[in-house]
Amino acid sequence: MAETEPKHKRKILIAMDESQHSEDAFEFYMKNVHRPDDHVTLLYVPEYHAIVQSPMAMTDVAVVSEMMREEGERIKNVVSHLSKKLKDIGGSVKSIGGKPGDVIVSVAKEAEVSLIVMGSRGMGTIRRTFVGSVSDYVMHHSHIPVLVCKHPDVHK
């Protein structure tokens, strides 16, 4: 019997940050999971490191303004880099601020994706307990399958 139902594109969400772990996850997806008709969304949840970590941020409005401008430029460069990754396969890039785990879960649900792909930073048990792990959070709060890619050289 011939298949009469039209094939639907899979929607894939790949959580990206500025780490090699997310680059490895993207490469793993491309080599092992990707289908030509997939719609890939790269999701970047920026973290404002310089502003949060600077003691000057609380004392000088001009310093805060300059830091915000620099962070905005950094985020723009990351989004541009991610867009280039999709040049040959198509797809989209989203950049949404917030807590990474919350944002990944909510965007995946809203977009009705089929799969979430993300890297693992390889934190040890103690650090993960105190700091928390985005991949742990997503696995436990998402009702969508999650593929956590671990780089074999880092996770021994």
Q: What is the pTM of this model?
A: 0.81
- Pick the residue with more confidence: 120 or 107? 107
Region 99-116: what's the mean pLDDT?
96
C-alpha of 63 from chain center: 29
List the Cα angle 148/149/154 in 5-degree steps: 125
Separation of alpha carbons 77 and 125, rounded Å: 33
Give the DSSP letter string of 113-132: -SEEEEE-----HHHHHHH-
In the prediction, which pLDDT does 34 show?
96
pLDDT bucket at 5, cuts 50 / 70 / 90? very low
Residue 151 has pLDDT above 60, yes or no: yes
In the prediction, which pLDDT does 133 show?
83
Beta strands in 24-152 (DSSP E): 39-44, 92-95, 115-119, 146-149
Pick the closest to residue 93 from 45, 47, 46, 43 (CA basis): 43
pLDDT bucket at 54, cuts 50 / 70 / 90? low
Region 25-46: what's the mean pLDDT?
95
Residue 127 has pLDDT above 80, yes or no: no
Residue 38 has pLDDT above 60, yes or no: yes
Residue 130 has pLDDT above 70, yes or no: no
Residue 136 has pLDDT above 50, yes or no: yes
Delineate the domains of the chain, giving CATH numbers in brackets. Answer: 12-29+39-46+79-149 (3.40.50.620)
pLDDT bucket at 63, cuts 50 / 70 / 90? confident
In the prediction, which pLDDT does 71 show?
87
Residue 25 has pLDDT above 70, yes or no: yes
Residue 126 has pLDDT above 70, yes or no: no
Helices and strands, counts by H and E, the chain: 6, 5
Averaged confidence pLDDT in the chain = 83
Beta strands in the chain (DSSP E): 11-16, 39-44, 92-95, 115-119, 146-149
List the Cα angle 142/44/122 in 5-degree steps: 65
Pick the closest to residue 28 from 144, 155, 140, 148 (CA basis): 148
Which residue do the tokens 């792990």 mark?
Answer: 133
What single-letter amino acid sits at 119? G
